[in-house]
Structure 1
């Protein structure tokens, strides 16, 4: 007993009126008993209509919005029927997940759909693991990308998606008069994936490199818009020994590395940063809460005690347990390896510690209990973090 509504279809345009939408759904249910499932697509096309039971002329100016009926009102009414389950999708330009949470007053939940994981990408790419990994690092996990065989079509699709959907959504929703600052902010963030930053630092970069004058407040707002539109995800930093979050700086990762690469014209494809970004996305996709770890160490240099911060790429939080993960493209150089494992050695606890390297190396453990594994088996084995080696 499925009721499907697609508001972008000409045949169902009348249902953009919330009154008509409610009447249609109730008519489809009729006297039938049992659970009904309602799927409404492109809900942002629904319009506000005046409530005929209210006289707008006598309503205070600050309450004028309450004189109109929206799809939120209709769906809240329908949710009173225990035999209904309602699923809604829409564009970020008119509707955000936080709007849903506010307007449905705790009676809804968000199902977040990520781009394809590497294992999903591999499952229908038709390539072996190694070739699929190179493709995934280059073109990302948007479904149409893996279905499209022509590399130029892949690139064009990603570029158009970034420009005509994501950026356009932000400009339209927030009524930006000039998207020049937004475009260059995106370029800076994409170019420095996984680097520490904050609004003030970004303002300085825009001014010194691109001669663009703006303010911390403007950049902070734009960063929020980019997160809401699912272009970037912000990672907070956590002091491992101090057991507290650090207010600034923080890191931004691309929701999809293919969008990132296309926006930059497939330049600046540093595999170390792309692998780190993909691992971060994979951890979120698996449902983990993820932070960037900071280990503060005191060292005596030339007789003076100096404090230094060492980074653990990811802290995976699993309730009462933690897992520390370093993304290290290569640890063949002994000095590079020591730099990567030093903060893991100095956490002061016995939680699991993992180093993910490039390639297809199966998991193995050193004498200190630090586990090393290639990125390909790490991404393909979803249960790896749930068991000891």
Structure 2
């Protein structure tokens, strides 16, 4: 529950459990994840290398089918809002029929690369656009193709367009058929 929306390493979990005095193999971690997927509790989102144009086998993310499970187990933490926004956008893209991946563009990460037939969109998700940083937009601007690029945010005052990247409030993203 703690790693929702963060890149995942079964090896890191096995090492952590070993440091806690528990023994669990990497294979067992993957078995548990597989069972959770089969029960529709979590969904796997694989990484997609934009330069190599291939799906990668490591550093995937997992998203919760029901985010309330995280709050039931771990309680509410304001720091988790950004990852829950990412969780919402992931499932909205899936609901719209996209195959959804985490984008890898060199050393930069794109929150989502959503592909549907020969269409593609790129989506970054953030609670607020940071005033001192253009990371969300610049990651998208570094992609050298002409597919639509979006930043989805809770910041109502930040909506607009920056060099072709559309800044969209979460509610508008969820209600619109355009995206």
* TM-score normalised by L of structure 2: 0.92
CA contact (8 A) 2:128 2:155 kept: no
| Residues 182-238 of structure 1: CA deviation (Å, up to 9, x unaligned) | xxxxxxxx1121111122122112223x43211011111111001011111110000
For 2:147, which of 329, 336, 351 is the aligned residue? 351
Q: Partner of 2:144: helix, strand, or coil?
A: coil
Query: Are residues 1:384 and 2:158 paired?
Result: no
In the TM superposition, 1:280-359 aligns within 5 A as 280-296=90-106, 309-335=107-133, 338-359=134-155
Q: Equivalent residue for 2:59?
A: 249
CA contact (8 A) 1:191 1:268 kept: no
More strand by share: 2
Match of 1:204 among 7, 15, 18: 15
Provide the rounded CA distance (Å) in 2 between the counterparts of 1:201 and 1:384. Answer: 40
The equivalent position to 1:369 in structure 2, one of 155, 158, 164, is 164
Q: Shift of the alpha carbon at 1:262?
A: 0.9
Secondary structure at the aligned position of 1:252 is classed as: strand
Distance 1:362 1:320 in 2: 30
Across the aligned residues of Structure 1 and Structure 2, the Cα RMSD in angstroms comes to 1.7
**2-structure distance, mates of 1:280, 1:214:** 30
Q: Residue 33 of structure 2 aligns with which residue?
A: 223
The equivalences for 1:79-94 within 5 A come to: none
Task: Tell me, yes or no, if structure 1 residue 259 matches structure 2 residue 69.
Answer: yes
Q: Using the TM superposition, give the Cα deviation of residue 364 of structure 1 relative to its aligned residue in structure 2, in angstroms.
A: 2.3
Structure 1 unaligned residues grouped into runs of 5+: 1-189, 297-308
3-state secondary structure, aligned to 2:13: helix
User: Residue in 2 aligned with 1:141?
Assistant: none
Structure 2: unaligned runs, 5 residues or longer: none
The Cα shift of 1:332 comes to 4.0
Q: Is the 8 A contact 1:241 1:347 kept in 2?
A: no
Q: Say if 1:237 and 1:211 are closer, same or farther in 2 by CA, change over 3 A.
A: same
Q: Which has the larger radius of gyration?
A: 1
Aligned-partner Cα distance in 2 for 1:346–1:293: 12
Offset of 1:344 from its aligned partner? 0.9
Q: Secondary structure at the match of 2:92?
A: helix
Aligned residues of 2:129 and 2:155 also touching (Cα < 8 A): no
Deviation of the 1:278 alpha carbon: 1.0
Q: Call closer, same or farther: CA 1:200–1:287 in 2, change over 3 Å.
A: same
Helix, strand or coil: the match of 2:110?
strand
Q: How far, CA to CA, are the matches of 1:355 and 1:261 in structure 2?
A: 26
The question of whether the paired residues in 2 share the 8 Å contact of 1:236 and 1:250 is answered with yes
Find runs of 4+ consecutive structure 1 residues off by over 6 angstroms: none
